[in-house]
Copies of this chain bind each other. A is one copy, B any other.
Amino acid sequence: MAEHNGLRVFAPATVANVSCGYDVMGFAIDSPGDEVVVRFNDSFTGIKILSIHGDPDKKLPYETAKNTASVSGQMLLDEIGYTGKGIEMHIHKKMKSGTGLGSSAASAVAGVFAVNELLNRPFIRRDLLKFAIEGERIADGAVHGDNVAPCLMGGMVLVRDSHEAEAHRIFIPDGLHAVVIYPHVQVLTKDSRAVLDATVPLEKHIKQSANLAAMVLGFSRNDLGLVQRSMTDIIIEPQRAALIPCFYDVQKVAQEHDALGCSISGAGPSIYALFANSIKAEKAAVEMSNVYRQASVKHDVHLSPINMTGVKIV
């Protein structure tokens, strides 16, 4: 079969660790995102990665047991005891790893979603979460669903329990718009985790958890004032900000443009800011970008509504 006969899926980038929701809140944006193409192949069994595009440094593994896309797909096959034709996989990376935009999560979701579609959906969409979380774990070493869940389901997602793969899309008002800025510096997730204290002062725990609950309540009620008061991070952000060039300057500009919240995307170095509408977001994006331009920090800017679809066939 030629590649054009394959099944192609797109999995969007995601912002995880949304402010007070470290490891539990994430949302999807429209672009960038990864694509995965799958098709049946009689010449082997199980999953084989035949090509990886967009990985100039050849960092990503072809080995089925090591690539997040094939691991999640293979887990699905194992779960149903699949013994049919082999499945070849072609991965098109559209975002680098280490940007804080859920690159490995997007591949994990794309892989298992594509395999599920190819097999005519043995699972409903939300039941793919456990496979995607396991795929993500291969890349990251940690079990956390706040990238894979919004990548799979779209929208703004609260992950109650990553080990149980329990996640909930929460209601959000129409029109929310995100600015995501990726400064071209390298921050590895494991380094970003290493700077974190193993404990949290009780008072900060109380304040942060109240804000998380209030943020969910604010979104649910379309009370953006409440969202804005709640979208802060007094625990993780202060420990990681130093890893990111000009973080507080960029954040200040976002806040001056009435951002609902602005913090570190995932493990960084990307910075996200969320706005009530695209007009505010577009104005803010220009000024946030200017901070980096003036500091001679190379960077990319992404402007996007919250992606409400999640992974999809394209």
Closest to A160 in B: B214
Q: Is there contact, CB below 8 Å, between B160 and A206?
A: no
Contact residues in B for A159 (Cβ distance below 8 Å): 210
Q: List 20 A-B contacts (CB under 8 A).
A: A23-B210, A158-B213, A159-B210, A160-B210, A160-B214, A160-B229, A160-B230, A161-B229, A168-B214, A199-B199, A199-B201, A199-B202, A200-B202, A205-B208, A209-B212, A209-B213, A210-B212, A212-B212, A213-B215, A217-B220
Interface string of A194-206 (1 = CB under 8 A from B): 0011111110011
Which of these, B210, B216, B226, contacts A24 with CB under 8 Å?
Answer: B210
Contact residues in B for A210 (Cβ distance below 8 Å): 23-24, 158-161, 212
Which A residues from 153 to 205 make CB contacts under 8 A with B?
A: 158-161, 166, 168, 170, 196-202, 205
Complex Cα spacing A127 to B208, Å: 24
Interface size bucket, A side? 35 or more
Whether A22 sits at the interface, judged by CB under 8 Å, is: yes
Distance (whole angstroms) from the CB of A283 to the closest CB of chain B: 29
Contact residues in B for A24 (Cβ distance below 8 Å): 206, 209-210, 213
Contact residues in B for A251 (Cβ distance below 8 Å): none
Closest to A199 in B: B199
Q: Is there contact, CB below 8 Å, between B22 and A206?
A: yes
Complex Cα spacing A222 to B142, Å: 32
Q: A166-B229, A200-B200, A226-B168 are in contact. Are A158 and B206 (CB under 8 A)?
A: no
Complex Cα spacing A219 to B168, Å: 13
Q: Which residues of A approach B to under 8 Å, CB–CB?
A: 20-25, 158-161, 166, 168, 170, 196-202, 205-217, 220, 226, 229-230, 235
Contact residues in B for A158 (Cβ distance below 8 Å): 210, 213-214, 217
Closest to A208 in B: B209
* Other A-B pairs, 9, CB within 8 Å; known A20-B209, A24-B210, A212-B213: A22-B206, A25-B213, A158-B214, A159-B210, A160-B226, A166-B229, A168-B226, A200-B202, A217-B220
Complex Cα spacing A117 to B30, Å: 54
Closest to A230 in B: B160
Q: A205-B200, A235-B205 are in contact. Are A217 and B166 (CB under 8 A)?
A: no
Distance (whole angstroms) from the CB of A73 to the closest CB of chain B: 28
Contact residues in B for A229 (Cβ distance below 8 Å): 160-161, 166
Distance (whole angstroms) from the CB of A175 to the closest CB of chain B: 21
Complex Cα spacing A91 to B220, Å: 41
Complex Cα spacing A206 to B159, Å: 10
Contact residues in B for A226 (Cβ distance below 8 Å): 160, 168
Contact residues in B for A217 (Cβ distance below 8 Å): 158, 168, 170, 216, 220
Q: Which 6 A-B pairs have the closest CB atoms?
A: A209-B209, A199-B199, A160-B214, A24-B210, A200-B205, A23-B206
